[in-house]
Every structure is written in C-alpha cells, then in structure tokens.
Structure 1
Amino acid sequence: MTTSPFAPVFVSSEAARAVFVWQDAIRALQAAYARPIPPKSTPARTVAVAGKTWLRTLPAVPVGSRYYGAKVMGMAMDSAVPGVEYVIVLFDQETSRIAAFVDGNLVTGFRTAATSAAALDRLAPAKATRLAVLGSGLEASMHTRAIASVRDLTEVIVFSPTPERRIAFADAVSRDLGVRARGVASAREAVEGADLVLAAARSRDEQPILFGDWLMPGATVVSIGSTIPEQREIDISVVARSDIIVCDMLEEVLDETGDMLAAHKAGLAFHDKSFSLADLMTGALDDRLKDARTRMYKSVGGGLQDIVVAGLILDRAVEAGLATTLPIEFETKR
C-alpha cells in the first residue's frame, strides 16, 4: 500500500522521551510567550462532565508556529479499569491537515516543568540556588531537572510524607544531576533557607502545605498543585507575602484555583500584583521585578504549552525516524 503524503503520524511517549531536550523546550516556550498572543488563540480549558465521566480539552493556535491543535483527555471513573489518557492532535498550518497524534501523558509533564523553568529563568535572580521541593512524584522530578537546566543548583532538599520516596528522590537527583540532595521530615525544614521553593504536591486533605513565614527574604515560589477550585496547596500567607505573582493562564489562576479563591475569601487584594506569563516574557515586568523581594509563579497549564512542546517533539521524532506513520487518511471537506 502506498502511504499518502498526508498520512498523520503517531508519536509515543517513548519517542518523546528519546528526543526531548529541556533547554530547547524552555527557549521555544519563552519565544512563544514573547510573541503577541491574540485573545482567542489560547482559550481557557473546557470540561464536559456527566456523572463520573469527564472530558477536558485545551486548544491553542500559537502565533508563528507551524502547528496548532488541542490536547484532549478523559476518564470514566466507573469503568472497570479507570485511568486518564491524553492525546494531543496537531494540525499543520501549511496543509491544513492533521499532522500527528502525540501521546500527551509524558508531554504534559515536560511542558509543565519547561514552562515553569522558562518563567523562573526570567523571574528568579540569576545566581546559584538552593532548591526546596515539596513532593516526590513525576511533576516534582521533571521540575527539578528543568530548573537545573536554567540555574546552578547548590543543593536540593525534598520533603515527601513517605520516607522511602523522599530518599529515592534525593538519590535520583544526586545520581542524574550530580547535585547534593537530601530528604527531610517536614515541609518547613525543606523550605527554610531555600532560594527557590517548588510546591508540586497538593495535600491529601486539601490543606495548605506551604506557609509565607517559612520563606526567607528574596525567595521565589513555584506552585503547580492547585489547578481547580477544590484543590489547595499554598496558604494565603504565601499570596500575601508575594510582591509579584506571574500566572500562565491569568484568569484561570486567579478565579478558578482553590488557593487564590481562599485568598479572595480572606479579603486579600492580589489582582493588582498578578500578571500574565506573556507580561513576564515581553519585559513588561522588568521594572517591577527590580523592587520585588518575594516572587511567585503559579500554573494551571495551558494549551499553548502543549502545542509548542508537542510540535517540537513531533519535528524531532520525525527527524530521528521515531514517528510511526499511520495507515489512514482523513477525508477533507472542501
């Protein structure tokens, strides 16, 4: 059978892992957020729900990119084997055809961490850094590696409620990054004295795991674990202490995350010190950053990140011969 020149390809997580480079993804995201972003080019996520079944979509048309598309994920919690699967559908601007289906599970972790590192590279002081990590899962692991690609880490201190997990995390950091790392028995012990604090594990009982009076002057916080109203990660004192708050999806972070909703309910004013990631990347916040002591980046994730990173992975996978051509062709409506 002759393969159509318009046949889409599939990029597996294994292929994505093989071709992914942190620095390349970080630079691509910085460039994407530095360009003008039309209001409708990266809309808010949508979620369809019926009973215990949900479907979430994150679309984006990045300016200047060859690819546009959407990430789709869903789960039927009442199914025999519940679990979430992610697929990123990429369209090619040059042909208006579907170019690829990318397994979005690993890409989601890559893009979240790479976007955080892209923000930190502009937000945090450029110096050797002591990193505190709250959490020991995939996001915490990826963020540590992404941050290490933009900052010289002098030490990584990790807190996880499970001793075995924090020890394993510290051992992996030391082995993979050549950075001194250790686990500690409390979140406060990890945070005190740290230049950079990564909150990547919301609490099981939805109580804050990070408090403002733990932070040393000049610390920068990255919070990624509270993305919907029901979730909590940072105490409102962290919001109060932050002189500048940078958000990847400004309205979603401020109006739809449990942490910021709690701060609003407590009467804290924070909208006037909250800004978009695009503001940071274009240099619009440079003057404010000079006077800011405590800085925070808060993320819920966005379609623009998915499409930029998935497009980069697609091109690399094709070049490396790791993309699987699918024996299909979609009918084009004219």
Structure 2
Amino acid sequence: MSDASTSPVFVSGEAARAVFRWEDAIAAMQSAYSRPIDAAAAPPRSIARADGAWLRTLPAIPPGERYFGAKLMGMTPMSADPGVQYVIVLFDRVTSRIAAFIDANIVTGLRTAATSAAALDRLAPAGPARLAVLGSGLEASMHVRAFASIRPLSEIVVFSPTAERRAAFAAAATADLGVPARDVASAREAVEGADLVLAAARSRGEQPILYADWLKPGSTVVSIGSTVPEQREIDVSVVARCDLIVGDMLEEMLEETGDMIAAREAGIAFHDKAISLSDLISGAADARVRAARAPMFKSVGGGLQDIVVAELILTKALEAGLTTSLPIKFETKY
C-alpha cells in the first residue's frame, strides 16, 4: 500500500467512484458534525474575481481527522473550453506535508448529497417515503442514491423541464435502486403527496420552483440550489411554512442566499427558526427537532464536507492501490 505521508499522490475521479460508499460517507459526515467545530476551522468560502475570471476556495481543518486542506475551482471567460475543474489539496497532520491531490468534480456531488442525507436521517421520520425530485442533473442523481441508503423509498417522482432527461432519470433510478420511479410533466404534480421533497434545480430565470401550498403536512424539504445571492430555488412561502430550518453553513445560508434574501425582503422572519447542522447532528437541538412539523435542510456547501469525504476517498484509494504516485517533491520552509 502506498503511503500518502511520504509522497504526494493523485486520486482520479474514476478511483473516487470506485471506492466510494454512501453509508461510509454519511456516517463520516455525521461523525464530523457531531463534534464541536470552531468557526475558524471551517471558514466561509472565499471568491476572487477579476475580468470575468473567478477562483473559489473552500478550506477546512476537520476536528479529529488526519488530513486538512482546501478545495479550489476556477474558470475564465477567455477559455475556448469554459468548463470548471475542481481539485482538493490535502495536507497530512502527522507530517504537515502535502499528501494528495484529488480530482474533486465528482467529490462535490458526493459530499453535497452525503451531507443532505446525514441531515435528512435526523429530520425525516423512519419508514418508507415517497420522494419528489425537482431536477434531473448530477446533484439530483447523487441525492436520490444517498437518500435511498438511509430510507426505504416507496416511489420516486421526478420533474425537470426536459421530458427526455427526466424520463431517463426515472429509468436509471429504477434500474439502479429497484425503486418504482416515474417522471411527470410539472413540479407541482411531483411534489403533491410526497413525504420527502428534494429541490435540486434552479430555474433558468432564477424563479422559484417550489411553493408551500404544494407540500403536504409533515413533509421534509431539502433545498440545495440557491447558494449565492443571485440564485433562487424555493418560494418565500416555503420559508414561511417551515418551523425548523437547518443550515450547513448557517450564517452564510441565512444571509447570502437568494432564497433567504427574498424571504427577508418579503418580511418573513426566519432566524429564530434556524439551527446549525452541528446542532442537529450533535443532538443539541433534539427538543426542537422532535417538535418540528415542517422541517427543511438548506445547504450551501462547505469545505468541511469536501475534506471529510476527500479523506475517506484517499484512505480507501490507498488501501485499494488506486492512487497515482507523483514524481514531484516540494521544497520545505523551516
């Protein structure tokens, strides 16, 4: 087995997929958020912008883990191929050396869904559930599989604007999970009667895609698509309906996402309904969670999630011999 403490290694997206298991990632996320997390150990993301180019950085030092590091992603409008690449750089606490570079494109989808599932596991009643999915992209696909690992799904109903994509999504869900899945022609049709509702597709015009009067009493909402002020996903009526709102990066979610900004401008008070994911997972807010009848988990994503999942993937990839040793050596400053 290679040793990431002696030389940097690279973990490809293919290797990450090969070693990843939802149960492991969800358990790792619940373990990380059950511990006290100093704000300085998991600061908000930073974004540098100039001339249309941007660079986003998400650093974290998870408590009690061997590795710490940051995820980087960037894009420039001058590129003929304007796609975004992601990389996670991990440092080893034992040696303080750079241990690994991980292709983080797939990791981003994995960690977001694992975090949502970790929250949903504490928010939603046990037992079979009908899942409504708004969206048919990578994030929606990852979330359905993560949710299926913690709850028996009686049915999956999906809506997205393109009929072919949503039909393919439903067919793949049934084939992969053995759960009856179907696509429908409207978001409302998907949501009505659902026990769990996943909003994972902002509209093209940044208009809300989910409204409170569609939701049945007692349903649990997971919203992942509005992460910056310019983005919209859920209507302000959904925020008003909720009696408990859980945020992974609580202040960032409350103050810097388009959905919550719109709710604040509409005069909806929500700060007193909000708790952190740490308080949910650690049990610090158990009384409020038990009393909730209309809970929502709203995610913006954070570096802690990236590093926790990256460590899990690196450890398993090393054990499986699926890392690539890099013929490089960094100078060390003493």
- Could you tell me which residue of structure 1 aligns to residue 302 of structure 2? 302
Please give the alpha-carbon distance, in whole angstroms, between the structure 1 residues aligned to 2:197 and 2:316.
32
In structure 2, the partner of 1:112 is 112
Residue 227 of structure 2 aligns with which residue? 227
In 2 relative to 1, CA 290–233 (structure 1 residues): closer, same or farther, beyond 3 Å?
Answer: same
Q: Distance in 1 between matches of 2:301 and 2:226?
A: 11
In structure 2, stretches of 5+ residues that fail to align are: none
User: What is the identity, as a one-letter code, of the residue corresponding to 1:18?
Assistant: A
For 1:324 and 1:4, locate their aligned partners in 2 and report how far apart those are by CA, in whole Å: 10
- Displacement of 1:117: 0.2
Contact 2:4 / 2:99 at 8 angstroms: preserved in 1?
no
Kept after mapping to 1: 8 A contact 2:199/2:210: yes
- SS of 1:89's partner is strand
Instruction: Determine the structure 2 residue equivalent to 1:90.
Output: 90
Q: Matched residues in 2 for 1:58 and 1:289: separation? A: 29
The C-alpha deviation readout for 1:113-147, integer Å capped at 9, x for no partner, is 00000000001111211000000000000000000
Which letter does structure 1 place at the counterpart of 2:184?
V
Q: 2: CA distance between counterparts of 1:8 and 1:291?
A: 48
| Distance apart, 1:15 and its partner CA | 0.1
Q: 1:116 to 1:52 in 2, by over 3 A?
A: same
1:258 aligned residue: 258
2:247 alignment counterpart: 247
Instruction: Report the number of matched residues.
Output: 332
CA shift, 1:4, in A, is 10
1:6 deviates by 2.3
Hey, what does 1:333 align to over in structure 2?
Answer: 333
1:279: which partner in 2?
279
1:158-180 superposed Cα distances (whole Å, 9 cap, x missing partner): 00111111110000000000000
Partner of 1:66: 66
CA contact (8 A) 1:10 1:323 kept: yes
After TM superposition, the score normalised by the length of structure 1 is 0.98
- Distance, in Å, in 1 between the alignment partners of 2:147 and 2:188 is 21
Judged with a 3 Å threshold, the aligned counterparts in structure 2 of structure 1 residues 229 and 4 are, in CA distance, closer, same or farther, namely closer
2:131 counterpart residue number: 131
Contact 1:6 1:329 in 2 (8 A): no
Give the C-alpha shift of residue 5 in structure 1.
6.5
Q: 1:263 to 1:331 in 2, by over 3 A?
A: same
How far is 1:91 from its partner?
0.3
The offset of 1:75, in angstroms, is 0.3
Contact persistence 2:74–2:84 (CA under 8 A): yes
RMSD over aligned CA atoms reads 1.0
Runs of 4+ aligned structure 1 residues displaced above 6 Å come to: none
Query: Counterpart of 1:37 in structure 2: which amino acid?
Result: I
Identity %: 71
Any conservation in 1 of the 2:5–2:99 contact (CA below 8 Å)? no
CA deviation string 1:227-259 (max 9, x = no partner)? 000000000000000010000000110111000
Is the CA contact (8 Å cut-off) linking 2:91 and 2:99 kept in structure 1?
Answer: yes
Letter in 1 for 2:273: K
